Amino acid sequence: MRLTVTTWNINSIRIRLPLIRQFLATCRPDILCLQEIKCRDAEFPWNEVRGLGFEHVEISGQKGYHGVAVLSRLPLATVEKGAFCRHGHARHIAVTLGADAGTAAGVTIHNFYVPAGGDVPDPALNPKFEHKLHFMDCMMAGPTRLRATRAVLVGDLNVAPLETDVWSHKALLSVVSHTPVEVDLFGRVQAAGPWVDAMREKFDPAEKLFTWWSYRSPDWESADKGRRLDHVWLSPDLRDNLEAITVHKEARGWEKPSDHVPVTAVLQL
């Protein structure tokens, strides 16, 4: 069977429902992982989301900020949330597909929203940056250490690791998301799985590849000062099951867009 997984930082699910509908008109993933839903569980548009065809919905929400959700057409067996974050932010949810999910049964999907880290790239001066590093430390080696077998890890990881993951490597060396300390730690988190960078399996690492363009640039497309902050990682046993990756860049140009675009992985299981 084919398993299709999309990750999308939606930047408020309540005002972005029309955009999700627009996306689903051309791409109908089995699993849609959302970040920055920005609502409490009770404020989540449950009925609308079920109306979109996702019968199985798990969310970790909080008031106003952050928040992650997994929307699934396939049955889920287990759900975990709340790990990795010292401050109790809603930044992670993991699901395992149920025994009745065909050959995808037992696959685990981690959905992450790693802290952005503020503006100053110095953990001694900026608590948000220190928290970002701590969060990644927990992903790598914490008590809730990830087990990378039959697993997919997606989300807004808020790090652009490669020189080609930013519009200008030189210009962004001291900009949070692309600093050497973050990139180094990001690499160690990836190696700890170990995890396969699925996007770079399909897109030449020598080519620029972005998933986010700031709102603060009205001419985002012509300026093209993007970054690859959103990621799809696979456990190594699933590397050969990866059929395709799509970066839905067109979504950045839709009406009232998120600043992030969806990324979709197709696995043949």
Partner DNA sequence: ATGGTTGTGGAACAA
Give the separation between CA 267 and CA 59, rounded to whole angstroms.
23
Contact flag: residue 66 with DNA (CB under 7 A): yes
| Inter-residue contact 132 to 110 (CB < 8 Å) | no
Between CA 113 and CA 166 the distance in angstroms is: 19
CB of 177 to DNA, least distance (A): 9
Q: If binding means CB under 7 A, how many residues of this protein chain bind DNA? A: 21
CB of 174 to DNA, least distance (A): 10
| CA dihedral over 137, 135, 162, 20, signed as positive or negative | positive
CA distances to 124, 147, 189, 198, 256 from 135, rounded to whole Å, are 16, 17, 11, 22, 31
Binder of DNA out of 45, 118, 123, 205 (CB under 7 A): 118
Contacts of 68 (CB under 8 A, 6+ apart): 33, 34, 35, 37, 59, 60, 81, 90, 91, 92, 93, 111, 112, 113, 155
- Cβ 236 to DNA, closest distance in Å? 30
Nearest approach in angstroms of CB 39 to DNA is 7
**CB-nearer residue toward DNA: 55 or 250:** 250
Q: How far is the CB of 13 from DNA (least distance, A)?
A: 8
Q: Report, in Å, the least distance between residue 33 CB and DNA.
A: 16
Positions 17 through 46 that interact with DNA (CB under 7 A): 38-39
Residue closer to DNA (CB basis): 92 or 150 = 92
Nearer to DNA, 18 or 236 (CB): 18
CA distances from 215 to 161, 245, 251 (A): 21, 25, 13
- Of residues 77 and 251, the one with the C-beta less far from DNA: 251
From the list 24-32, 51-59, 116-124, 195-203, the region that binds DNA by CB under 7 A is 116-124
Closest CB 128 distance from DNA, rounded Å: 5
> How many CB atoms within 10 Å of residue 83?
17
Residue type, 19: L
Span near DNA by CB under 7 A; candidates 58-66, 74-82, 146-154, 243-251: 58-66
By CB under 7 A, which span of 51-59, 100-108, 110-118, 233-241 interacts with DNA? Answer: 110-118
Cα gap 37→155, rounded to integer Å: 13
> Among residues 18, 51, 53, 64, which is the contact residue for DNA, using CB under 7 A?
64
Distance of CA 213 to the CA centre of its chain: 15
Classified as helix, coil or strand, 54 is coil
- Which residues form the interface with DNA (CB under 7 A)? 11-12, 14-15, 38-39, 63-66, 115-118, 128, 158, 214-216, 218, 256
